[in-house]
Amino acid sequence: MEQLERLREIVNGSNNIVFFGGAGVSTESGIPDFRSVDGLYHQKYDYPPETILSHTFYKRKPEEFFRFYKDKMLCLWAKPNAAHQKLAQWEKEGKLKAVITQNIDGLHQAAGSRKVLELHGSVQRNYCEGCGKFFDAEYMLHAEGVPRCDACGGTIKPDVVLYEEGLDQQILTEAIHYIGQADVLIIGGTSLVVYPAAGLIDYYKGKKLVLINKTPTARDNVADLVVQGSIGEIFSAL
């Protein structure tokens, strides 16, 4: 496959790669895209996912929020796939400088990646809104109803960016820095429609923009290389 050969050349020839990933990287580990709504969904929930995962809903209906959150967002059984593992390997080899992700599952770190910029936070971190105490994802999964702090009784909020909440400016700034300095920018598993994250690629100044996705993206026309297919399979072949 010609594109694969070209991708291999690009990767082999660089020691300043930045990877920007979306939901497609996680779905290959079996994590469902939370936006996908089927008939079964409507039997369980009265509101669409975007409504439930909003700051307003979290404050107004915390029981319903956490019911959805534990059911749909805490996929603690998931394991890193070939894409996560290859990225961690490239970092160890000194080729990859950073992973920037829209995912919240912590699978990049589980695979061994160290420099991971999580634009939308992580389910692995949870903090009491009262006293700031840290709790892991297992605690949240097994908590009854609304998770409460065992120190002060406050509500424990996942460290994820909900709709209506702003992204962490420090992480955004760091992501812009890495993208702006990158020799190669590989974007995988995202259709590049979620803003402001999708706008980050405008900071890339290089000549090796690679898009890997199962379906066409909004930026295929500006990419130097487009590889269509499963990111896990493509990375396995490199």
32-74+122-160: CATH superfamily: SIR2/SIRT2 'Small Domain' (3.30.1600.10)
Catalytic residue chosen out of the listed positions 55, 108, 120, 142: 120
Q: How do the domains of the chain map onto residue ranges? A: 2-31+80-120+166-236, 32-74+122-160
Looking at the domain covering 2-31+80-120+166-236, what would its CATH class be? alpha beta
Walking along the chain (238 residues) 10 residues at a time, the average pLDDT comes out as 93 97 93 74 86 97 96 94 98 98 96 97 98 97 97 98 95 97 96 79 94 91 94 93
Query: Same topology for domains 2-31+80-120+166-236 and 32-74+122-160, yes or no?
Result: no
Q: According to the model, what pLDDT value does residue 41 have?
A: 73
Cα 181 from Cα 69, distance rounded (Å): 36
Cα 91 from Cα 16, distance rounded (Å): 10
Cα–Cα separations (whole angstroms), residue 75 to 72, 128, 138, 199, 209: 7, 21, 10, 28, 31
Q: Is 120 a catalytic residue?
A: yes
Q: According to the model, what pLDDT value does residue 196 have?
A: 73
Tell me the backbone φ, ψ of residue 148, rounded to 5 degrees.
Answer: -115, 145
Q: According to the model, what pLDDT value does residue 39 have?
A: 67
